[in-house]
Amino acid sequence: MRPNLSLSLSLSHSLTLPLLCFCHFSYTFLLCSHFLTMASHIVGYPRMGPKRELKFALESFWDGKSSAEDLKKVAADLRASIWKQMADAGIKYIPSNTFSYYDQVLDATATLGAVPPRYGWTGGEIGFDTYFSMARGNATVPAMEMTKWFDTNYHFIVPELGPEVKFTYASHKAVEEYKEAKALGVETVPVLIGPVSYLLLSKPAKGVEKTFSLLSLLPKVLAVYKEVIADLKAAGATWIQFDEPTLVLDLDAHKLQAFTDAYAELAPVLSGLNVLIETYFADIPAETYKTLTSLNGVTAYGFDLVRGTQTIDLIKGGFPSGKYLFAGVVDGRNIWANDLAGSLSTLHALEGIVGKGDKLVVSTSCSLLHTAVDLVNETKLDDEIKSWLAFAAQKVVEVNALAHALAGHKNEAFFFANTAAQASRKSSPRVTNEAVQKAAAALKGSDHRRATNVSARLDAQQKKLNLPILPTTTIGSFPQTPELRRVRREFKAGKISEEEYVTSIKEEIRKVVELQEELDIDVLVHGEPERNDMVEYFGEQLSGFAFTVNGWVQSYGSRCVKPPIIYGDVSRPKPMTVFWSSAAQSMTKRPMKGMLTGPVTILNWSFVRNDQPRSETTYQIALAIKDEVEDLEKAGINVIQIDEAALREGLPLRKSEQAHYLDWAVHAFRITNVGVQDTTQIHTHMCYSNFNDIIHSIIDMDADVITIENSRSDEKLLSVFREGVKYGAGIGPGVYDIHSPRIPPTEEIADRINKMLAVLEKNILWVNPDCGLKTRKYTEVKPALTNMVAAAKLIRNELAK
Q: Is 55 annotated as a binding residue?
A: yes
Q: How far apart are CA 532 and CA 489, in angstroms?
A: 10
Separation between Cα atoms, residue 585 and residue 583, nearest integer Å: 6
* Beta pairing partners, 732: 707
Residue 793 burial (C-beta neighbours within 10 Å; 0-12, 13-18, 19+): middle
700 is in an annotated binding site: yes
DSSP three-state, residue 640: strand
Known binding residue 476? Answer is yes
Q: What are phi and psi of 238, to 5 degrees?
A: -115, -15
749 is in an annotated binding site: no
DSSP codes of every residue in 125-150: S--HHHHHHHHH--SSSPPPPEEE-T
Spot the catalytic one: 155, 370, 683, 739: 739
Query: Which helix (H) or strand (E) covers residue 176, if one does?
Result: helix 173-183
Q: Is 771 annotated as a binding residue?
A: yes
- 21 in a known ligand binding site: no
How many Cα atoms sit within 13 Å of 362 on the Cβ side?
32
Q: Report whether 13 belongs to an annotated binding site.
A: no
Q: What is the DSSP string of 110-130?
A: HHTT---GGG---SSS--HHH
In 644-789 the beta strands, taken as DSSP E runs, fall at 681-686, 705-708, 730-733
Determine whether the annotation assigns residue 532 to a binding site.
Answer: no
Query: Distances in Å between the alpha carbon of 334 and those of 35, 108, 365, 474, 556?
Result: 30, 26, 10, 33, 18
**Kind of pairing, strands 553-556 and 559-561?**
antiparallel
Q: Are strands 543-546 and 565-571 parallel, antiparallel or unpaired?
A: antiparallel
Ramachandran sector of residue 212 (left: φ over 0; alpha: ψ -120 to 50; beta: rest): beta
690 annotated as a binding-site residue: no
Pairing of strands 188-193, 94-96: parallel
Segment 65-70 long-range contacts (CB within 8 Å, at least 24 positions apart): 68/128
233 labelled ligand-binding:
no
State yes or no: is 13 an active-site residue. Answer: no
The dihedrals phi and psi of 389, each to the nearest 5 degrees, come to: -110, 160
- Helix residue ranges per DSSP H, 493-573: 498-519, 536-539
Is 475 marked as a binding-site residue? yes
CA–CA distance, 282 with 284 (Å, rounded to integer): 7
Distance of CA 347 to the CA centre of its chain: 29
Strand order across the beta sheet in which 639-643 lies:
593-597, 639-643, 681-686, 705-708, 730-733
Q: Which of 193, 225, 198, 214 is nearest to 98 (CA)?
A: 193
Q: Is 366 annotated as a binding residue?
A: no
In terms of DSSP H, where are the helices of 319-377?
A: 340-354
Instruction: Say whether 451 sits in a helix, a strand or coil.
Output: coil
Determine the Cα–Cα distance for residues 390 and 669; give it in Å rounded to an integer. 31
Q: What residues form the annotated binding site for L-homocysteine? A: 475-477, 643
Q: What residues form the annotated binding site for Zn(2+)? A: 685, 687, 696, 700, 709, 771
Active site residues: 739
Q: What residues form the annotated binding site? A: 55, 153, 475-477, 528, 559-560, 605, 643, 685, 687, 696, 700, 709, 771
Q: What residues form the annotated binding site for 5-methyltetrahydropteroyltri-L-glutamate? A: 55, 153, 559-560
